Structure 1
């Protein structure tokens, strides 16, 4: 009975020893795993500390990561690292390229932009790396990719901010930024000059209503609220600003609604343009238009007066021409005709012919103008018509013109026909008087 018992006791002790040894190995493995994980965490935390500095360029971040990497691996003393980024290469001081290698690509939006490599420089017959180290390397490569993308975005943003700031500062238009209460947060030099202030700090003690005359406030608020609610900005509108000295300046304004990242309204962007020169030009133009209108009215009055004078002159001229023709035909030609019928010598007849010719030359321009009124009458018919108008009888006309009364009757009939008086009970003398 004792021997079997002793055997069982020995077996129990051996089993206990084996279990204790197993537990010790497991504990050692746990401690080692904890140490390895601690190394990995320290590496990640140290890299996080580096990238927290917003002023560090990508090159310094890459250098810092390369120096950290060996300390996250199982054998830091036999580990070296290299980081290649586009045309730049960063590596540890002890860098040596060996067959034992781990690598991870650095990507930006799935595009390869670099590579991180870990090399084991010690003596070993088997793979010195563990899967957790590859996972750490992959994680750090992803973090580096995100850092580079963020840095590029920040650089682009700084460039844009610099560009927009330059545009903001150098613009000839006044620009300002306000919060929702209307208090000024920022403005450019042109806006300060517009209002007569010397610094943005001086203007930041005021709100938009302080520089807006009372008569504009309600209508402007309604306009801004209605338009910015629909389209995010207001159309340009004219108003006045109150300057520092208390005087007013005419401006044209456009307002944009400012929003935060959550699309919530946070204030306004304001652009203002000085309208003083334009207002002066408009006033000058208005005065010129009034002057032109007054001068036009005066010229119209003068033209009317001139037209009246010209009409009177033409009437006077016509009357004068008629008087000349009448006087020649009544007071001169009858005597010439009587002289022709008398007994004259050759020389006297020649003189008489010269007188008659010269008289005809004098009155012929007047007769030609009269012929315009009687465009269908012959020159002889015009003479007859004029004498009829003067109240001469057929016999008197025949004696004056030296023709028979039958000939004068023929002329009278032709005149009535050409003037449309034939077969009409219209007195030719009265009709001719109305025409001349």
Structure 2
């Protein structure tokens, strides 16, 4: 069995479609195909099934290859599209290739079909892998940005800062394929290095790219490659050298080098292919060289990035786990080990998260989990529950959960809020006036009365400033500004009572939303420059009178740095994407040059055929042959001449619906053979020949006309 392949054939002739399918089978494929000949049938087939390859005729009644290609592009499909035609010209072929066709194969030269299909299927895999890598990078970036925003929002209503949980898996795979056949001559200015090496490892020719890399090498002096390509020079053939192997056995080889270049090491991808004479002897080798030093460094940098994000996952202060769809815990960090009392080996892949939930919360959390698997937006993202550790101890925990993009996995961050719950319980019993302050925890928060005296100074602001509440409570005269600015001066909380443009100018920005003020400022906090976010508003008594003001402050320095890091990452990814596009463009230029060389080779083959084959046919004609054998030789000569003459090409290009048998019989009629003689030569009945004669006349529009069929066919020669 060959390699299975699903092929959609756009062709109005079943016989032509069969020829293409047979050629695929001969090329090692096991094709599953469907033939369509209209826009509607093609669209229905593309919507119904997934196809690996599209083969399309150029011109059909009511449909065309260009219309088929347009439909594929409109549907946003990336399927190798090869035009198979018998009458398309070079200029038309170029226009179709510019429109998006991947290759163009002539029906009278179907031997090119298999190499074209092999190449385009491989390139489709490369495009798909590149798309997957880019999509993975975009999803990872989106996930990271979303997590940062969620953490920032949660900090406004909680008394302890939730640490960002970042997990980013970035994989990249760079695939560059080697061509199956190499050029017989050097190609200049194609963006990659090419050199011609003799069997004695002498450099015969260098292209422009190689001369840029090695400007001091004079190929006219035939220097030894391993001496001049290395700095310092080598005295023996490089161990990785693919060219040396090619020169020995005539095979294609590929390797990645580590070439000394002064104080640095350059990485080159080298593909070597043989150059053979007419007798098949290897007379030289072509080296195709690509500098992959930058791309290799980029891959190493991406690996370092993955290690960095894994380190963040491990060292974050919040307990973090990753849970599979069946509730199995697949990954935990060090903080979870500390909080649960279990080691990673005891948990990962072995325990369900349900084993860490107190019994009275279990049914509720299972319900959330099942809901999240069907509709992630319907399940709560944050809630409290009671956590049970290895020793059976129960503690209050705050949970933040999110789906990993493109998977059924969830990432869960746990914060031990047992102490905070105790504080909240105590605060609920405090005075009504201080109840507003609870809404601002866990941010650094303080409050003042209308006279500017401090009436509240919470724990978070103690940690932020180093000033304890007893040292601040009851003080006025802008005492609260000293820890932030080192001087007594009005700050944002004072703007709740008065409007002062001079105060506002000292902030990075300040805006008002109703009675609430929002601002950012850069301050020298504890000897370090920190960026602080603030929110201030009035305090009211039970009658709605303003009895003070309250301000909450949050240190967003790390968030600002993270935002700058994300922006830099985006710029780096865009630069890498541009590099990939440039490389792809260079490969396309290389392939077009390869096709041009193939056309030149075919012309030389035809010239050699006339010189090498035809003389022997003349000798056979002059030898003593029986009548039937002489007739076979005559037919052979005629058919071979037709191969290199315009008759068959003209006949097949002007009348695409001629079957191979009809073309064969038309050739014999043109040579003056009777129906009986044709029947004997083709081993068929005279009636069959007459049937094909009628079909030929019909397709040539000669039916019911007196024109002689042979005379008409001769006019086509």
Q: Which has the larger radius of gyration?
A: 1
The structure with the greater share of residues assigned to strand is: 2
What is the TM-score with the length of structure 2 in the denominator? Answer: 0.25
What is the TM-score with the length of structure 1 in the denominator? Answer: 0.38
